[in-house]
Amino acid sequence: MGLGYIGLPTAIVAAMHGIEVTGVDINPQVVEMTNAGRLHIIEPGLEEMLREAVKAGTLKASATPETSDAYFMVVPTPFKGNHEPDVSYVEAATRSVLPLLKAGDLYVIESTSPVGTTEAMTHIIFTERPELKDKIYIAYCPERVLPGNVIYELVHNDRVIGGINPESTEKAIEFYSCFVQGTLHKTNCRTAEMCKLTENSSRDIQIAFANELSLICDKAGINVWELIALANKHPRVNILQPGCGVGGHCIAVDPYFITADFPAESRLIADAREINNYKSFWCAEKVKNAILEFELKHHRKPTVAMMGLAFKPDIDDLRESPAKYIVTKVMQSCDNADILVVEPNVKEHKVFKLTDYREAYEQADVVVFLTAHSPFRELPWREDKVMLDFCNYQLKYKQ
């Protein structure tokens, strides 16, 4: 259930291992493209595998679920306005497979979920289908793949699997053993849910430390990337990289699933979220100031190149993207005509008119590097332009 950034690759990898898979998605375009062997996401190497699986007949997409032996909920869990987790897609997907469930089936939630979601869905399933109590297997098994390296990580990463009882855990392990070569670690569903939230909160906190350092270094006149590269020469220090904020649908979202349920206890987790959000605001202010300074000095509006919209390098995913937030903020406060927006991984965008990166770089008086996409690396540092580099685009101080 769900053919997105995780559901689709999982369906493809399972199909490539001989499992007969029906991928279900509510978006008819996704269903149509998948059946035509065309990938609706960017993921290196995956389209060839999709074509092969569709040709072999082991994978097909559909708008409605079909009777199966195992059901996987791989739908989004966003948050509502007040940062409360929204599990309505998980519930909708669960309700749509409810009539199909039969004794002996496996039901797994993969979507990142607040603690207690698997138990809540179990309650729904057994309320609606009481005859299935103790007759089906229910587990939570989060994914851990990194967009851009999905095919390798789906197979090689260790996974944490937590059933509502030991039998469910074993049944889920039996399934994942078909294609996962990493170790499958057994636990209960609440621990597995919290484990996923912990992993992403841990990364958010580490990035917040790097972003905090970047603010300090900016004031202190220190190159933060050089500083971090040097500090990381210590055998027990491993600081991550500052950027223009934290984006994506995971790290910028999942910590709120903890803070919403445990507000008094999760102070560090909440602070990290605030620091990472503040970094994007700070970057937008820096750009606005650079534009004003240019105007004062040259008595004309500058042409500004905003380099990158995606939430991290070399992907096309703009969800929760700090770069997109910064571009929007800057455009709102300046005359749109002078802002050139660049995103080499996206052909067209509904809101932003996109410009080729070389052209924008050439034309711009002020260049703002937001996302360190690989093609940008070829662009030489230009002393004749106002350069704002929020992402170490040349990877000059690579760890």
Q: Can residue 11 be called a binding residue for ligand SAJ (CB under 6 A)?
A: no
Helix or strand or coil: residue 8?
helix
What SS3 string covers 271-291? HHHHHHHHHHHHHHHHHHHHH
What is the Cα–Cα distance from 195 to 285, expressed in whole angstroms? 36
Burial track 137-163 (b if 16+ CB lie within 10 A, e otherwise): bbbbbbbbbebeebbebbeebebbbbb
Q: Can residue 253 be called a binding residue for ligand SAJ (CB under 6 A)?
A: no
Name 86's Cβ contacts closer than 8 Å, sequence gap at least 6: 77, 78, 79, 80
Residue 144 vs 186, nearer CB to ligand SAJ: 144
Q: Can residue 16 be called a binding residue for ligand SAJ (CB under 6 A)?
A: no
User: Can you give the C-alpha Rg of the chain in angstroms?
Assistant: 23
Tell me the CA end-to-end span of the chain in Å, nearest whole number: 39
Q: Can residue 207 be called a binding residue for ligand SAJ (CB under 6 A)?
A: yes
Q: Can residue 303 be called a binding residue for ligand SAJ (CB under 6 A)?
A: no
The two structure tokens encoding residue 222 = 């220190």
250 in active site? yes
Residue 382 vs 396, nearer CB to ligand SAJ: 396
Q: Can residue 250 be called a binding residue for ligand SAJ (CB under 6 A)?
A: yes
Residue 132 vs 139, nearer CB to ligand SAJ: 139
If one counts every other C-beta atom within 10 angstroms of the C-beta of residue 321, the result is 27
Given 243, 255, 302, 308, the residue binding ligand SAJ (CB under 6 A): 243
- Using alpha carbons, select from 36, 41, 28, 67 the residue that is nearest to residue 53: 36
Given 143, 193, 343, 365, the residue binding ligand SAJ (CB under 6 A): 143
Count CA atoms closer than 13 A to 66's CA, side-chain side: 10
Q: At closest approach, how far in Å is the CB of 312 from ligand SAJ?
A: 4
Task: Considering the candidates 196, 279, 312, 324, report the single residue annotated as catalytic.
Answer: 196
Q: Can residue 246 be called a binding residue for ligand SAJ (CB under 6 A)?
A: yes
Q: At closest approach, how far in Å is the CB of 123 from ligand SAJ?
A: 25
Q: Can residue 101 be called a binding residue for ligand SAJ (CB under 6 A)?
A: no
Q: Can residue 203 be called a binding residue for ligand SAJ (CB under 6 A)?
A: yes
Q: Can residue 311 be called a binding residue for ligand SAJ (CB under 6 A)?
A: yes
Residues 147-176 that bind ligand SAJ (CB under 6 A): 147
Given 312, 342, 369, 373, the residue binding ligand SAJ (CB under 6 A): 312
Q: At closest approach, how far in Å is the CB of 193 from ligand SAJ?
A: 13
- Amino acid 103 reads A
Whether the CB-CB separation of 336 and 358 falls below 8 Å is answered with: no
Binding site for ligand SAJ (CB under 6 A): 112, 143-147, 199-200, 203, 207, 240-241, 243, 246-248, 250-251, 311-312
What residues are labeled active site?
196, 250
